Amino acid sequence: MTGSPEITDRKALALHRARAARSPELFLHEEAALEIRARLAEISRAFRAPVLIGHVTPPVAALFPGAPHVDDTPTLSLDREAHDLALHCFGLHWADDPVGQMVQSRLALVPDGLFLGVMFGGATLHELRASLAEAEARLSGGLSPRVLPMADIASLGGLLQRAGLALPVADSVSTTVRYPDVARLAADLRGMGETNALASRGTSWPSRQIFRETERIYRHSFADDGYLVATFEMVFLTGWAPSANQQEPLRPGTASTRLAEALGVKETRLKR
């Protein structure tokens, strides 16, 4: 999809992912794979034509051996109505046009096919972002784009509807990790392929003074028993390609049973 402002330097992102593949840090991808498996287990259906999109690492790829992988480029290399499941892996938070990614995924699904996306949500690395921003503001009087901005779960749920997906659901899982220092956190981000690939990032390397001040602020504000606390929020997005035989929510006012009856309690009218 075109017309969206460029947020991500796709060349830098590809280099970061390639570097991560040589020395990967996959504990969050392993957790994501378990969550995906659990969600699919609740659906009484066998998916026989899945496609994996985006940053597909071994833990997720193992869920669907032999399934094709497609890069999460702005224009996805997908055939129309060719798959019954589109699994978008850790790429939507880097997308210049996430709705466009979802629309293209939906068009690649057969009617009543499932879209399932996993991405990092708005609470991710809020401690690091706050510490970096405060450190840079103190030392330079301004801010540089160093950490990817991320959307909250309410906004992400709305994107599913905008993409034309039916029965949309957005939920999240948060993981807290303790690090001895910022350098260890940065090493994990490199191993995940999640270091700074913003198109607007500065070309000069941040000064050591900024890193020292960031660590000082981080340790003062977000430490637990001497360790730095880092939050990773994974958001899971599910929606279905529209189909004529899909269930639809009832229109307001068409319910045949009163809430009090369903709960087994006495209904009391409000006094006016």
How far, in Å, are 101, 144, 177, 178, 201 from residue 137 at the CA level?
A: 35, 9, 26, 25, 16
Predicted confidence (pLDDT) at residue 1 exceeds the cutoff of 50: no
Query: Which residue range(s) make up the domain with 238?
Result: 10-126+148-199+226-246
So what's the pLDDT on residue 271?
56
pLDDT digits (tens, 9 = 90+) for 168-202: 999 999 999 999 999 999 999 999 999 988 887 66
Average pLDDT, the chain: 88
So what's the pLDDT on residue 137?
85
Residue 64 lies in a domain: yes
Predicted confidence (pLDDT) at residue 32 exceeds the cutoff of 50: yes
Residue 102 lies in a domain: yes
Least confident range of 39-43, 141-145, 257-261: 141-145
Distance between CA atoms of residues 187 and 261, nearest Å: 57
pLDDT digits (tens, 9 = 90+) for 203-217: 555 568 888 999 999
pTM attached to this predicted model? 0.85
Residue 265 lies in a domain: no
DSSP secondary structure letter of residue 218: H
So what's the pLDDT on residue 155?
83
Residue 83 lies in a domain: yes
Number of structural domains found in the chain: 1
Residue 215 lies in a domain: no
Collapsing DSSP states into helix, strand and coil, what is residue 240? strand
